[in-house]
Amino acid sequence: MSLNVAQGQFTRGRGKFHAIEYKPPTELVSEGYPLILTTGRVLEHWHTGSMSRRSEVLDKLHPNSKVDIHPDDALNLGIVDGDLVTLASERGKIETEVHVTDKTAPGLAFMAFHWSESPANILTNNALDPVAKIPEFKVSAVRAVLEVLDRATQDNDFFARLAENPAEALKEYDLTPEEKAAIASGDIRKIESWVGKLDERLRTWLIARLQQEKW
């Protein structure tokens, strides 16, 4: 194809398009990983930040990693702006701060990859496009869990079940109607008698979660 200098365009027109059949991402959301993570950049930094993070001015403008989550998802997860969360995929997990914003669509999480202390690419999917051979880094299924809750789930079956399915976690426990009413109202002394004294942020999360309990 040659360029027609007189007309200022290619001889066959301005471009040629090829229609292709849509193929969904290799990884889709699931009960265990209900969010889609997409990665990218923020204005103040470049790639791994090896140069831009040396700038005191730029680092003050955006000093640490954050994951953007829509308010609806944050409410469903019991997470508030500024919380430290564990972000996990089938490939690994990292810790990062939450930024609750409606600039992100429901069901979608966004995170930049500039921070080595919270390396987003640990989570991403390296499945290749069959034609272009480009890795599918922009679509990865993840879950976000309050960091203190994630720590609690590692050695406590009750919190592990509550984190996975908070609407049914207490069904298997033998509770009197009075105990159920007390727990639903935010009196969690019964639960602390099972699991021990709770971190204050975990207590707040638990009280909010138990209000959603289905008996």
Task: Give 154-173 pLDDT, tens digit per residue.
Answer: 777 777 777 776 566 677 77
Residue 4 has pLDDT above 60, yes or no: no
pLDDT score for 166: 56
Residues 35-87 have pLDDT tens digits of: 999 988 877 777 777 777 777 877 777 778 889 999 999 988 888 999 999 99
pLDDT score for 180: 76
Average pLDDT over residues 111-139: 85
Poorest-confidence range of 34-43, 100-109, 204-213?
Answer: 204-213
CA nearest to 158, candidates 147, 171, 146: 171
Task: Give domain 26-146's CATH architecture.
Answer: Beta Barrel (2.40)
Q: Is 4 helix (H, G, I), strand (E, B) or coil?
A: strand
Q: In whole angstroms, how far apart are CA 113 and each of 4, 67, 119, 169?
A: 43, 10, 6, 35
For 46-199, where are the alpha helices, taking DSSP H only?
56-61, 71-77, 147-153, 157-164, 177-184, 189-195
Q: Distance between CA 21 and CA 56 in Å, rounded?
A: 48
Work out the pLDDT band at 8, boundaries 50, 70, 90.
low
CATH 2.40.40.20 positions along the chain are 26-146
Q: Distance between CA 35 and CA 31 in Å, rounded?
A: 9
Residue 175 has pLDDT above 80, yes or no: no
